[in-house]
A and B are shown apart, each in its own frame.
Chain A
Amino acid sequence: MTVATFQVDDALPTQSYQVTRTNLVKYAGASGDFNPIHWSDRVAASVGLPGVIAHGMFTMALAARALDSWAGAPGRVREFGCKFTKPVVVPDDDEGVTVIVDGTVRSLTDDAVHISLEVTCGDQKVLGAPKAVLAR
């Protein structure tokens, strides 16, 4: 499948990503966001969180990774936005949690594809109204 063959209402292939504490530490280093709620149980608990949570921007980056997969290549995403509605709590074990990214083609123009996404962890939507535009 490539962007050129997308049709309106196409359900794009479900992408499933495992997230462990290691991923959060790597993302902290790569992004420069060292807020301890993303790596310290002690600090997370002190601000009332149920545990260490993923950076919202990390979850968004996973959704962007799904967009690249659907587009068939990096560099085609022209717009991408979402709300951060529910935290992704990542336990300190080897399994971590799984983030699932689904997408639906909403509309097509000569040079763009509009996609709405659904990003879930467990039974909760963790991003609100994620939407993207890919260059065709």
Chain B
Amino acid sequence: MPVDPSLAGRTFPATEVYEVSREKIAEFAEATGSGFDGQAAPVTFPIVVAFPAMNDLMDDPEVGMELHRVVHGEQRFTCARPVVPGDRLTAELTVETVRQIGGADIISTRTEITDSEGAQVCTAYATLVHRGEEP
């Protein structure tokens, strides 16, 4: 069943606060072989914070996505500053557009990641491709 195009423009509730530890950044950096100076997290680290927001979208029964049909099509980060240990971050996801192309739903999302002062740290843009059922 296709995703309802009226999903476009919907903003999901912000996620619970994610407390960024030095250990979590070190684990992520180690898993990707990246250097870690004790401060700046790798630029793709905010996906850890955005992931629960993306799951809220994909798990919402009203949205009607089936997880095994979802492919990550595109990802972009724009960062005001790197994530650092001690950050208390929330993620708020908005569905920007829903397009139907060749039987697939192309869902473009924007997730704003903000710190405890309400300052924007990073915006994570993800495009999810929800493949249609095989004929």
Task: Choose, from A2-10, A81-89, A103-111, A117-125, the stretch at the interface.
Answer: A81-89
Which residues of chain A come closer than 8 Å to B28, judged between CB atoms?
Answer: 30-31
How far apart are the CA atoms of A75 and B41 in the complex, in Å? 7
Bound form: Cα–Cα A75–B27 in Å: 16
B77 near A81: Cβ-Cβ < 8 Å: yes
Q: Which chain B residue has the least Cβ–Cβ distance from A23? A: B31
Other-chain contact of B42, A68, A81, A128 (Cβ < 8 Å): A68
- Residues of chain A contacted by B68 (CB below 8 angstroms): 47
Q: Is there an interface contact between A65 and B34, defined as CB atoms closer than 8 Å?
A: yes
Interface residues of A in 70-128 (CB under 8 A from B): 73-75, 77-84, 128
How many residues of chain A are within 8 Å of chain B by beta carbon? Answer: 32
Minimum C-beta distance from A28 to chain B (A): 9
Contacts of A31 in B (CB 8 A): 28, 31, 47-48, 51
Contact string against A for B residues 3-35, beta-carbon threshold 8 Å, 1 for contact and 0 otherwise: 000000000000000000000100111111111
A74 smallest CB distance to B (angstroms): 4
- Are A57 and B47 in touch, CB under 8 angstroms? yes
User: Which of A17, A58, A61, A77 gathers the greatest number of chain B CB atoms within 10 Å?
Assistant: A61
In this complex, the interface size class of chain B, counting residues with CB under 8 Å from chain A, is: 20 to 34
Q: Whole-angstrom distance between the alpha carbons of A57 and B50 in the complex?
A: 12
- On whether A56 and B125 interact (CB within 8 A), knowing A17-B33, A78-B79, the answer reads no
User: What chain B residues lie within 8 Å of A79 (beta carbons)?
Assistant: 76-79
Q: Is the CB of B78 within 8 A of A78?
A: yes
Instruction: Report A103 CB to chain B, min CB distance, Å.
Output: 14
* Cα-based distance from A57 to B79 in the complex (angstroms): 17
* The residue from A61, A77, A83 contacting B32, defined by CB atoms under 8 A apart: A61
- Judged by a CB distance under 8 angstroms, whether B2 is at the interface is no
A65 touches B42 (CB 8 A): yes
Among B34, B41, B43, point to the contact of A80 (Cβ < 8 A): B43
- Tell whether A77 pairs with B33 under 8 Å between CB atoms, given A67-B43, A84-B72: no
Residues of B within 8 A of A (CB): 24, 27-37, 39-44, 47-48, 51, 68, 71-79, 82, 125
Nearest 8 pairs of A and B residues by beta carbon: A75-B40, A81-B76, A30-B31, A77-B43, A61-B32, A26-B31, A75-B82, A74-B40
Q: Which A residues are closer than 8 A to B by beta carbons?
A: 17, 23, 26-27, 29-33, 47, 56-58, 60-62, 64-65, 67-68, 73-75, 77-84, 128
